[in-house]
Structure 1
Amino acid sequence: MNSEIKLRKAETEDRDIIWNILQQAIERRRKDGSTQWQQGYPNINTVESDIKKGFGYVMTVDGEIAVYVALIINDEPAYNNIEGAWLSNGEFVVVHRVAVDEKFAGQGMVKKLFDHIEDFTRSHEIQSVKVDTNYDNVPMLKILESKGYTYCGEVFLAGGMRKAFEKIII
């Protein structure tokens, strides 16, 4: 049976579910021995701010929230200082704070999420998607590679160096 998968803006009522999913992700990164997300970020205030600013999105499976992501258009000051070079200088969508509910883990949800993000980018006539991740976030690095993202260099974000990637959409 095919599930209905949708990407929609997060609403205030989603806050506690989102925070729960992020806490699971923070714990998963810790168990994997990663330094990512281990210094009190993201936190509940991050979630509230994302929702208020309209950055927060959820991917639902048959109406149930499976994945959280922040999508920010043209605004990531850290990306102005890349050690390396972006593929483009046009408009872009920044992908931050990807977290999957453990109930949906191992089902290729993040790959599906990136398909939806690319559709979102295309529908807003935005040139590219930019994303960064920790050097030790192997699952995300593999997904970015499989989705055709190009490694562009390093950016300094949230207290550390991150690998930065871009994919031209239009």
Structure 2
Amino acid sequence: MCLRGEALAAAFVFAPGPDPSYLQVDGEGWPDEGEYGVVHRLAAGGEGRGAGAWCLRWCLARCRQVRIDTHRDNHPMQSLLAKLGFVYCGTIRGMDGAERLAYWRDGVQGP
């Protein structure tokens, strides 16, 4: 959880890979097959302006590379990922079978 004062600004799950959802990518594929962390369920509230970026930077500071996915219609998340230097790698299937856009970023470079 990411708090702003006492208010919840954002919440997310950050876990070490490997993640079964990321084993097969349709498209360019992952630039690096080494160890990685995975971000799931990143959500920021109305009071959380900038909280999503803060959460992703927190993850990048703790892992050599980070993978994340989002729905095709989640344009705000796609924009945030592009702004932070994440690279589109193709599509994956989530545990529910739904298509997701998959992104990757090297955490060594810093946010």
TM range (shorter): 0.7 to 0.9
Which protein is bigger by CA-based radius of gyration? 1
After TM superposition, the structure 1 = structure 2 runs for residues 35-46 of structure 1, keeping only pairs within 5 Å, are none
Who is 1:81 aligned against? 24
**Which aligned pairs between 1:1-170 and structure 2 lie closer than 5 A?**
58-84=1-27, 85-102=29-46, 104-105=47-48, 107-121=49-63, 127-157=64-94, 158-170=96-108
CA drift of 1:67 comes to 0.8
SS of 2:61 mapped into structure 1: helix
| Larger RCO: 1 or 2 (CA < 8 Å, sep 6+) | 2
Whichever structure has more helix as a proportion of its residues is 1
Asked if structure 1 preserves the Cα contact closer than 8 Å seen for 2:70 and 2:100, the reply is yes
Asked if the contact 2:15–2:37 (Cα under 8 Å) also holds between the matched residues in 1, the reply is yes
Match of 1:16 in 2: none
The structural deviation recorded for 1:65 is 2.5
State how far apart, in whole Å, the 1-side matches of 2:15 and 2:37 are: 6
Q: Give structure 2 stretches of 5+ with no counterpart.
A: none
Moved over 3 A (4+): none
Counterpart code for 1:97 = R
Task: Return the TM-score normalized by structure 2.
Answer: 0.87
Closer, same or farther in 2 for the Cα pair 1:91/1:63, shift >3 Å?
farther
Q: For residues 89 and 104 of structure 2, what CA distance do their matches in structure 1 show?
A: 7
State the identity as a percent. 26
Amino acid across the alignment from 2:105: K
TM-score (norm 1): 0.59
Q: Deviations over 1:30-56 (max 9, x none)?
A: xxxxxxxxxxxxxxxxxxxxxxxxxxx
- How far is 1:83 from its partner? 0.7
Q: CA RMSD in A?
A: 1.3
